[in-house]
Amino acid sequence: DGGITQSPKYLFRKEGQNVTLSCEQNLNHDAMYWYRQDPGQGLRLIYYSQIVNDFQKGDIAEGYSVSREKKESFPLTVTSAQKNPTAFYLCASSATGEIQYFGAGTRLSVL
Amino acid sequence: AQSVSQHNHHVILSEAASLELGCNYSYGGTVNLFWYVQYPGQHLQLLLKYFSGDPLVKGIKGFEAEFIKSKFSFNLRKPSVQWSDTAEYFCAVIRTGGGNKLTFGTGTQLKVEL
C-alpha cells in the first residue's frame, strides 16, 4: 500500500517540551515537505527537502526543526521555542517538479 | 512575495446549483496551478492542475478550472454541485524554477445543502 504515513494522528505537548512528528513515504519521492494548517489561513510551508541530507526553511520555520537522513523519512520537531504550536500538521512528498501528495496529518494540541 | 487569494471563505449552495470559486495569484512569471480538496476527515487530494497547454482543465468529479493569464486567475467551476462536494477547497501555485514550493490560498469552505 503506497503512500505517506504520518504518526501519531493526535499529539499533546506540555509547556517547554519538544515533540517530534513522524512522516514516512514509500513513493520513492525525492522531495518532502511540512505544512501547518490553521483555520482560515490555509497551509503554510514550514520546511522542505529536495534531497537527502539537505533541507530549506519555508515561510514559518521559527520554532521548528527537521532532518532528512533517509529518503523515506522527514521528521518534524516542534520545539519549546514555538509559542503557538496548536495546529494541524501535514506532510507531503513529490517527485521533482511534480504533484505533491499529502499524508493524513497530525493534530497537535498543548496541554 | 508570491501570494494566492481566495475571495470566498465560506460558500453555501443547494444541490444542483452551479459553483464558481475564485483564485488569484500575484506572481508575474510562469506558474503551475492547482486546486486541492479536503473532504471531512480525509487526506488533502488533488482535484486538478494546470501546467501548460489548454487553459481550460478538467479534473475529477466534474470539476474544471480556467487559467486566465491576463487576470492572474484560476477559478474553479462545477455546473451542478452535489451534497458530497461539501469540503474545503484550496488553490495553490508553484512558481516554475521556485524549488517546487507550493503557495496555498486560505481555502474556501463549501457546504452543499440537500
Q: What's the residue count for chain A?
A: 111
Region A42-55 average pLDDT: 94
**For A50-93, how does the pLDDT look when each residue is reduced to its tens digit (9 = 90+)?**
999 999 999 999 999 999 999 999 999 999 989 899 999 999 99
Closest chain B CA to residue A41: B106
Q: Cα angle at A49 between A47 and A52, to 5 degrees?
A: 140
pLDDT value of residue B99: 66
Per-residue pLDDT of chain B (114 residues; tens, 9 = 90+): 668 999 889 999 999 999 999 999 998 788 899 999 999 988 899 999 999 999 999 999 999 999 999 999 999 999 999 999 999 999 999 887 766 788 999 999 999 999
Closest chain B CA to residue A99: B46
Average pLDDT, chain A: 93
Give how far Cα B1 sits from Cα of A61, B25, B28, Å: 16, 11, 11
As a whole number of angstroms, the distance between CA A92 and CA A24 comes to 10
* A96 in contact with chain B, both atoms CB, cutoff 8 A: yes
In this predicted structure, the answer to whether residue A1 has a pLDDT above a threshold of 60 is no
A-chain residues within 8 Å CB-CB of B42? Answer: 104
